[in-house]
Amino acid sequence: MNREEIKKILPHREPMLLIDEIEKQGNCSVGRYTVRGDEWFLQGHFPGHPIVPGVILCEMMAQSCCLLLQDTIKGRLTLLLKMDNVKIKQSVVPKDTVEFKCELINAKDPFYFATSTAYVNGKVCASGEFSFALK
């Protein structure tokens, strides 16, 4: 699923759409984003040594969970309620492609709970648990 197809699921638009592609793999979703280097969130973080902010990695992980709820969220607003056990283990820099592996761990409409782990070159760079509410 490319960015245009993702826009049919998520309400996010540029510059806040932070996933380039996503696919379903069994009961998991796998999203990807390649950091170009000209993104708004790198402009001051940090001059001469750009690093993707941890909070942006969290947003990328949360957006990557979208395919897990693809049929459920159509026509509904997805609200991120809570992040637990978030860990940033490695910096993400321009030219890195980050891969996000997500899994739905619990659901009781309108509440949904998922985990996401972010990888660069096969190494974990971030992980966390995310709670969503659908409105």
How confident is the prediction along the chain (135 residues), in pLDDT tens digits per residue?
A: 999 999 988 889 999 999 999 999 888 999 999 999 999 999 999 999 999 999 999 999 999 998 888 888 888 888 999 999 999 999 999 999 999 999 999 999 999 999 999 999 999 999 999 999 999
The encoded tokens of residue 116 equal 């996401």
pLDDT for res 59: 97
This prediction's pTM: 0.95
Helix/strand/coil for 17: coil
Q: Distance between CA atoms of 66 and 104, rounded to whole angstroms?
A: 10
Q: Which of 91, 35, 110, 102 shows the shortest CA–CA distance to 67?
A: 102
Instruction: Examine the residue annotation and report whether 45 is marked as an active-site residue of this protein.
Output: yes
**Domain hosting residue 19, numbered range:** 3-134
Number of domains in the chain: 1
Catalytic site residue from 45, 53, 124, 133 = 45
Residues 6+ apart with CB under 8 A from 34: 20, 95, 96, 97, 98
CATH number of the CATH domain containing 113: 3.10.129.10
